[in-house]
A and B are shown apart, each in its own frame.
Chain A
Amino acid sequence: MISDEFKILFTGPMGAGKTTAITALSDQQCVSTEVVNTDLTQCDKETTTVGLDYGHIDIPGGGGVRLYGTPGQERFRFMWSILANNAAGVIVLLNGEHPELEDHTATFVDAFWQQGKMPMVVGVGRLASDDFETIERITETLMRRQIAAPVFSVDVRNKDDVLLLVEALLCQIEANELEMVEA
């Protein structure tokens, strides 16, 4: 059965840029469930997503892509599996400056990897342009978990970087769909 829509999920800890990324891609204004953040000790962002972010990209000629963003904080973990349902792939956004970067990596890739059934891309923000050591460390964290996902250094305020993550995901979705026929 051929779909006329598919779903891409954005996840990651609070402040990593999920809402920003979806807003950059979405054709219309996104649905947001941001409220005032009362726990500034955990993250000094003024607001936090408590339900989901939702955006949409129309494809000329029919069909579209639904973009969903999960809440980042662990107490909303119950939303993750609800939102991951039927997603074609997931983009994990991380904050490269956060002291718990490796814990965040483990938490989010483990939650969504689904033993390799979910195409995944990891984008790490707030890194210096010549910082490849952090990318290598994150890659090793994934390898220890036998998770084969690419890791990119990105700035989600830059639309081209968001598009790179989407392109990497699309390439994986296509690779999964590859069919071999006898020549």
Chain B
Amino acid sequence: MSAEIIEKQRLGFIGLGEDTASACLSMLRIVDGRSGTSWSHSSPEQADVLMTSYEVFQQGLDDKKSDKPCIVVYPSNQQKPSTRFSLQHPFRVMQLLSVLEEVAATLQPSQRSNQASTSTLTSLASANDGEQTVSPFWQSLHQAIKGPLKSSEILVSETPHGPLYFKPAAQRFYANKVLLKKLTASSLELTQLVPWRGALPDGLTTCPLFSLCWLVSRDSANRLASWISEHGTFQLKRWPNFGSLEKNRIYLSLSALMMKQPLTRQQLQQAAQCTEENIDRFINACEMSGLLVFQEAANASVNVAVSNQSKGRFGGLIKGLRSRLGLGV
């Protein structure tokens, strides 16, 4: 097993009640050592990441603090705020750990005191060093999401059917209905995302991050992105939300497999009986949406193959049922 490199990050509280702050401090002690990041409490001015109450979030943070990643703690009777990181109160230890890991994954190298552990981050090594395997749009999306987030930032990509807007902090895309229909039906040329100075126009349809990644990855990202290492295992934090998009067996199968346990690309291909392109597209979309957990090859059991599933308890029943119901085999 490779030695773990522990990253140190500081968490500052603004506007949290005494109980919440105290519970959070206790939980930080519990989670210490469970991930590649060691979290300590500090003043908001010195913190790398802020945790604020819903009220403070609504009022807005002053300039010095608004550039820092911010976790908004909101009460259970409130709608989830449209921020990238949020935590519903009351929360459990694992929920706090999950959101802290998400935040840690976004922090720029210049903000890190040490290189991050690889338990939740994709490796920066690449078998295709220098070669871009994904479209410029996809690359710009990656930079937008992984960079420091500003709550008010809007980016835009131009298309033949109108602009596609993106709010990184909210993880939402916005477009007119015609454009979304076109994206669903076929491939579209999307320019790189660039800053948009104006306000969002009215009347646009909202599309969550994974849904759009899924549509676009069909043509823009069906080879593994250069910032994702081929060597290692892949697992999901939760099922992707396909919304009303295509949901065929291969992607349902990949989701089920990757929810169950970490697997290499080869194991996934064997178990899901699909192409490398299917796998890479799926991994790209999940990675972009923050759903992916990657583990380096040194920690993975790569010399293990997947056995013939027809020997399972349900034997060929599932295959027979699929055939009977007209589902893809």
Q: Which residues of A contact B (CB under 8 A)?
A: 1-6, 25, 57-63, 65, 88, 129-130, 132, 135-137, 139-140, 143-144, 146, 148-153, 163-164, 166-168, 170-183
Given A62-B320, A150-B255, 11 more A-B residue pairs with CB atoms under 8 Å apart are A3-B315, A5-B317, A59-B320, A132-B211, A135-B241, A135-B243, A170-B321, A180-B307, A181-B304, A181-B306, A181-B307
Q: List 28 A-B contacts (CB under 8 A).
A: A2-B315, A3-B317, A5-B317, A59-B320, A61-B320, A63-B320, A88-B314, A130-B205, A132-B208, A164-B247, A167-B247, A167-B327, A168-B252, A171-B256, A172-B256, A174-B256, A174-B309, A174-B312, A175-B257, A177-B314, A178-B271, A178-B309, A179-B307, A180-B305, A181-B305, A181-B307, A182-B303, A182-B305
Chain B residues, Cβ within 8 Å of A59: 317, 320-321, 323-324
Identify which of residues 43-78 in chain B touch chain A, using a CB-to-CB cut-off of 8 Å: none
Partner of B312, one of A62, A153, A168, A177: A177
Cα distance, A170 to B252, chains bound together (Å): 9
The reply to whether B317 and A150 contact each other, CB–CB distance below 8 Å, is no
Task: Please name all residues of chain A whose beta carbon is closer than 8 Å to the beta carbon of B244 when the two chains form the complex.
Answer: 129-130, 153
Question: Does B29 lie at the interface of the complex (its beta carbon under 8 Å from any beta carbon of A)?
Answer: no
Residue B34 CB within 8 A of the other chain? no
In the assembled complex, B182 has its CB within 8 A of some CB on chain A? no
B118: min CB distance to chain A, Å = 22
Q: How many A-B residue pairs have CB under 8 A?
A: 146
Is B132 located at the chain interface by the 8 A CB criterion?
no
Out of B92, B260, B303, name the residue touching A175 (CB < 8 Å).
B260
Q: Are A148 and B238 in contact (CB under 8 A)?
A: yes
B256 touches A175 (CB 8 A): yes
| Beta-carbon nearest neighbor of A145 in chain B | B92
B308 to chain A: closest residue by CB:
A179
Query: B112 in the interface, Cβ–Cβ < 8 Å?
Result: no
A57 and B312 form a contact (CB under 8 A): no
Q: How far is the CA of A136 from the CA of B81 in the complex (A)?
A: 12
Contacts of A4 in B (CB 8 A): 317
CB–CB A150/B239 < 8 A: yes
Taking a contact as CB atoms under 8 Å apart, the answer to whether B238 and A58 are in contact is no
* Chain A residues near B92 (CB-CB < 8 A): 144
Is the CB–CB distance between B241 and A179 below 8 Å?
Answer: no
- Assess whether B83 is interfacial by the CB under 8 Å rule: no
Q: Could you say which of B95, B247, B260 contacts A152, with CB atoms under 8 Å apart?
A: B247
B178 within 8 Å of A by Cβ?
no
Contact code string B279-310 (vs A, CB < 8 Å = 1, else 0): 00000000000000000000001011111010
Q: Is there a chain A Cβ closer than 8 Å to B200's Cβ?
A: no
User: How far in angstroms is the closest Cβ of chain A from B20?
Assistant: 16
- Whole-angstrom distance from the CB of B241 to the nearest CB of chain A? 6
In the complex formed, the residue of A with least CB distance to B210 is A132
* Contact flag A176-B317 (CB < 8 Å), given A129-B244, A132-B211: no
Measured CB to CB, the closest approach of chain B to A29, in angstroms, equals: 18
In the complex formed, the residue of A with least CB distance to B325 is: A163
Please determine whether A148 and B239 come into contact, CB atoms closer than 8 angstroms.
yes
- Contact indicator per residue, chain B 218-245, by CB within 8 Å of chain A (1) or not (0): 0000000000000000000011011110
The contact size tier of chain B is 35 or more
Q: In whole angstroms, how far apart are the Cα atoms of A149 and B259 in the complex? A: 9
Closest to B320 in A: A59
Q: Specify the main secondary structure of chain A where it touches its partner.
A: mixed
Q: Does B318 contact A (CB under 8 A)?
A: yes
Q: Are A183 and B305 in contact (CB under 8 A)?
A: yes
Expressed in whole angstroms, the Cα–Cα distance for A177 and B257 within the complex equals 10
Across the interface, B313 reaches (CB within 8 A) one of A1, A151, A153, namely: A1
- Name which residue of chain A comes closest to B82, CB basis: A133
B313 touches A2 (CB 8 A): yes
Q: Given contacts A153-B244, A171-B249, A177-B309, is CB(A144)–CB(B88) below 8 Å?
A: yes
A143 touches B238 (CB 8 A): yes
Q: Is the beta-carbon distance between B257 and A173 smaller than 8 angstroms?
A: no
**Alpha-carbon separation in the docked complex, A179 to B310 (Å):** 10
Instruction: List the A side residues contacting B315 at CB < 8 Å.
Output: 2-3
**Cβ contacts under 8 Å, A137 to chain B:** 80
Q: In the assembly, what is the distance between CA of A136 and CA of B206, in Å?
A: 13
B192 interface residue (CB < 8 Å to A): no
Nearest A residue to B258 via CB reads A175
The 8 A-B pairs of least Cβ separation, nearest first, read A177-B312, A175-B256, A59-B320, A150-B239, A171-B256, A183-B305, A179-B307, A2-B315
A133 to B316, CA, bound (A): 38
From the candidates B205, B304, B318, B327, name the one contacting A183 in the complex (CB within 8 A).
Answer: B304
Residue of A nearest to B305 (CB): A183
Most buried by A among B243, B303, B314: B314
- Measured CB to CB, the nearest residue on chain A to B249 is A167
Question: What's the Cα separation between A47 and B313 when bound, in Å?
Answer: 38
